[in-house]
């Protein structure tokens, strides 16, 4: 199985900050990576697919980059509604695997 490792596990930031979360795959997954946002008590929502493509309806302040084994999600200009937990997921094939999550908290 492909292991997905996210860092940091949590980050404190202020409104307006630029935040970057990283995700590492245990082997080359090309650009087959998705990012999700999850708010407390809610289902995850797809933000980014194919490592850097913005899902329809997702704000343009979210961007993704990377390929192979190293990926990142950047939030440019953190908004109050962005405080949530973010997960990466390898989408290359089964078994699908998620990272451990990164909680973005208010500083």
Partner 1 sequence: QVSLKESGPVLVKPKETLTLTCTVSGFSLSSGRMGVSWIRQPPGRALEWLAHIFSDDEKSYNTSVNSRVTISKDTSKSQVVLTMTNVDPVDTATYFCARIPLTHFAYDMDVWGKGTKVTVSS
What number of other Cβ atoms are within 10 A of residue 75's Cβ? 21
Q: Tell me which of 22, 52, 55, 67 binds partner 1, using CB under 8 A.
A: 55
Q: Tell me which of 17, 20, 24, 45 binds partner 1, using CB under 8 A.
A: 45
98 belongs to the binding site for partner 1 (CB under 8 A): yes
34 belongs to the binding site for partner 1 (CB under 8 A): yes
66 belongs to the binding site for partner 1 (CB under 8 A): no
DSSP result, 93-105: SSSPEE---EEEE
Contact assessment for residue 65 and residue 71, using Cβ atoms and an 8 Å cutoff: yes
Beta bridge partners of 97: 90
In angstroms, give the least distance from the CB of 85 to partner 1.
Answer: 9
In angstroms, give the least distance from the CB of 55 to partner 1.
Answer: 7
């Amino acid at each position: 199985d492909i292991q997905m490792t996210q860092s940091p596990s949590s980050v404190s930031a202020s409104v307006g900050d630029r935040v970057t979360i990283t995700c590492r795959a245990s082997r080359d997954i090309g650009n087959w990576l998705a990012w999700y946002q999850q708010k407390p008590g809610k289902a995850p929502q797809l933000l980014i697919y194919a490592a850097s493509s913005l899902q329809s309806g997702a704000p343009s302040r979210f961007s993704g980059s990377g390929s192979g084994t190293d990926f990142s999600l950047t939030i440019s200009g953190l908004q109050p509604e962005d405080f949530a937990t973010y997960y990466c997921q390898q989408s290359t094939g089964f078994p699908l695997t998620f990272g451990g999550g990164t909680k973005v908290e208010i500083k």
